[in-house]
Structure 1
């Protein structure tokens, strides 16, 4: 959500920032609503002031036994009294329209975000890791996976397209990956482990920016709750409607949860394999910080996600997304893309974003700076640390052996009872 005062102060800069995201100028319509709202508020206050003044005159007229004047004044007081509810209704209507218009606009890109209309404008920041040399032609994960328990057919039979059943080695590998990544964040990087609700209310998904614009990408229950598309929703809303002390910040949360997405905007993409599912597990990171700390926290969070890939010895690259390819709430996003030798391509495995105060305004999440009476909005950040399913895919493709077995990365072996090799059934 944007601050209307900021738009009022510099509408040209606001529209220029929106243009970088491919959004048409919005300040004229917003400022017209803002002016109408302020005019209605001013009129309401003027009517209230006049009514109060006339009420005093009624008392004075009665005190001086001027009944005719008292009656005339009382008629005017009644007229003003009847006008106030109508003005309040109009103020509420305009305010709702302004809020809806502001809520539909994406966050503004940070100054260092490159321009570009889509992923073609993204910039490689760095590439790390060694691409393994295979003495055979590496296969894609959907060719290796079934013999290791990645059961696409049964998943579809039970739940439909974009659902997969994991059995045996594949299920154990997914569990080990999730536990390894969560332990690493909490034990080495100071994140607090959280087991959050998987069903949330409208206010929660509005606060993190999925509503109202992206409702079709979510699953909704019959009682009006939403299945979380990412633990970011539950974790970020922990500070909803709260005023934190500056000494409490930074706050860092991490969770390993199932995530649920309708993939409405991805029809026809990645229909094969385990890359894009309606249900998947993900380790999520969320940070709540002061505004002056958010840039450094963004780098820290992304480095935490990179560390998991380094530990798994998976080649990857960091991408700085351009303005046209960022998510709705992001001011800056780094994507981590892992190398998949079977596909011969890099694929996204983590996305780490700073949202500045955009989500905080929607949630009314604030902090009180030390020594000050007033409050300010916090900054929120979120990132994948990592997506379990895509990490499983990366392990299968990068650690595959001729004949279909898959070597277990050294850091995962303790989670698998010392197992060093997943063998096909």
Structure 2
């Protein structure tokens, strides 16, 4: 929230601020890399590479090339490319408030740059005066003359001026960080333009929705049951007891259905481990700053389960139940500088996830599709900017392979600009076929966030030293390679997969006309060899 003092600064600057002053300067963006000891410094810093001239046609179509925009969203690159950033916000169908926030950041950053110069000038004066005092003291052999006293006063005054400017600067930086935290990520050039999920782009489809029904002998007039009815027939569904204990949108699974859920979870974890993911058992309670790092906060606080401070805090911070294992997995290296040789880092975890679903009143109230608590295997990758696209595709492909081995028909969708998540620059949704409703439903969401989360977590890596054998010094010896400055990592996350929704897909696609459920072959080793779950109810 912008403080009163900062609001007055904004109003002064916005009045005089011209968008053309900060029009996209894409011919050559300077590089800047600094050490960061806090999230504030990470958000304010810039690490922008060379860019090409913006394509007017792409701007019109809202398919902005990554080469024509800042590589990341920080105060400096936003100020230098304000028009392009606003184009991204409009493509996302962002609110007018978000657009005004972007303008305010550019305006405040203009003031920030001026204040930095003012502070540095004052510090330089103080140092010059201090140098004069030292020289005069030596000349007077330690006697403090009136001249020395006068210069000391000037040095003290300059130091005081610098301190006052530092206070103003700190306030501006705090408000810039707050505004930056409210803005979504920039979009990848491949993201299609659109208002909502109806504009999502079909990338591929896999499987025949009629293959399993034909294999299990579904009659032509067979009406597939909903998964909750299938589970009830197996003696494995107890929603009334769960609602009585916990309220709406909670379910208890029992017997063979609970075992099938566990089998799905174990299968997903084993497949992820085979693909090189390190399994983690993370905390289920995380701090406010951890959620800010992965950008669930401040925007989505109403969707989280908050633990009352009287019960527990995280090192003095507000505590929340995790909405996804993405939060603890991505935060495992907060504030660290990794070595490029250690990347990519791949983690996976099976955890319960807790979501208030504040904006979903009346939607998907039946069954397991949308509950307050559900299990999910989450995959997270920490990598370099150069390899993040490739790692994103690998992560997504792994989730696809799990569906294919389960023989669940699915389609792969590229989310449009109006549907892509807040922190994602590019996202694929995998949607599984549900016979009961004859529609595809999301079962995995795989996102490349670029350095959006890494900036908030001050998560960086040091590039490997590039040695040029041909470079020598004046004496003919090989020059020592300079140690590269740290740059921000890229983070990727995706479901591999959502266990509850996978259970839904298995129960519905593998049901038989008799009410039994065939266990997918890949799950049978986790079910003690059981091939069929028999209907027990009449």
What TM-score, normalized by structure 2, do the two folds share? 0.76
Structure 2 regions of 5+ residues with no counterpart?
1-42, 44-72, 313-317, 466-482
1:204 positional shift: 1.3
Q: CA deviation at 1:66?
A: 8.2
Structure 2 CA distance for aligned equivalents of residues 390 and 348 of structure 1: 8
For the residues of structure 1 that align with 2:254 and 2:522, how far apart are their CA atoms?
A: 21
1:233 alignment counterpart: 327
SS at match of 1:73: helix
- Within the candidate set 99, 113, 135, 1:38 is matched to 113
Q: Does 1:394 align with 2:465?
A: no
Between 297-306 and 73-82, report the one with greater CA deviation.
Answer: 73-82
Q: Does residue 117 of structure 1 match 2:195?
A: yes
Question: Residue 349 of structure 2: SS of its match in structure 1?
Answer: strand
Tell me the CA shift for residue 54 of structure 1: 2.5
- SS of 1:323's equivalent? coil
1:49 and 2:124 matched:
yes
What corresponds to 1:325 in structure 2? 419
Does 2:283 align with 1:205? no
The aligned counterpart of 1:220 is 306
Please identify, of 72-81 and 222-231, the stretch whose mean Cα deviation from structure 2 is larger: 72-81
Match in the other structure for 1:95: 173
The answer to whether the 8 Å contact 2:376/2:500 transfers is: yes
Is the aligned partner of 1:379 residue 2:490?
yes
The match for 1:168 among 236, 249, 255 is: 255
Aligned length: 424
Q: Work out whether residues 76 and 109 of structure 2, in 8 Å CA contact, stay in contact via their aligned partners in 1.
A: no
The C-alpha deviation readout for 1:29-63, integer Å capped at 9, x for no partner, is: 11111111122222122112212222344455665
Asked if structure 1 preserves the Cα contact closer than 8 Å seen for 2:120 and 2:162, the reply is: no
- The equivalent position to 2:237 in structure 1, one of 150, 170, 179, is 150
1:129 pairs with 192, 207, 214, which one? 207
- Which is worse superposed, 53-62 or 38-47? 53-62
Are the equivalent residues in 2 in contact too, given 1:146–1:152 (CA < 8 A)? no
2:368 aligned with 1:282, yes or no? no
SS at match of 1:303: helix
SS in 2 for 1:348: strand
Cα distance change on mapping 1:293 and 1:58 into 2, 3 Å: closer
With 307-316 and 125-134 compared, the bigger mean Cα shift is at 125-134
- In structure 2, the partner of 1:10 is 81
Question: CA–CA distance in 1 between the matches of 2:521 and 2:134?
Answer: 88
Tell me the residue number matched to 2:20. Answer: none
2:31 maps to none
Q: Which residue of 1 aligns with 2:281?
A: 195
Structure 2 Cα separation of the partners of residues 66 and 208 of structure 1: 57
Deviation at 1:76, TM superposition (A): 3.0
After superposition, the C-alpha distances for 1:265-305 in whole angstroms (9 at most, x for unaligned) are 21221111111011100011111111111111111111100
1:69 is aligned to 2:147: yes
Task: Return the TM-score normalized by structure 1.
Answer: 0.95
Residues in 2 aligned to 1:177 and 1:283: alpha-carbon distance in whole angstroms: 10
Instruction: Give the equivalent residue in structure 2 for 1:293.
Output: 387
Q: Equivalent residues in 2 for 1:79-94 (5 A)?
A: 79-94=157-172
CA contact (8 A) 1:104 1:212 kept: yes
1-structure distance, mates of 2:493, 2:333: 14
Provide the C-alpha distance between the structure 2 equivalents of 1:59 and 1:296, rounded to a whole number of angstroms: 60
The CA deviation at 1:75 is 3.3
- Find the counterpart in structure 1 of residue 225 from structure 2: 139
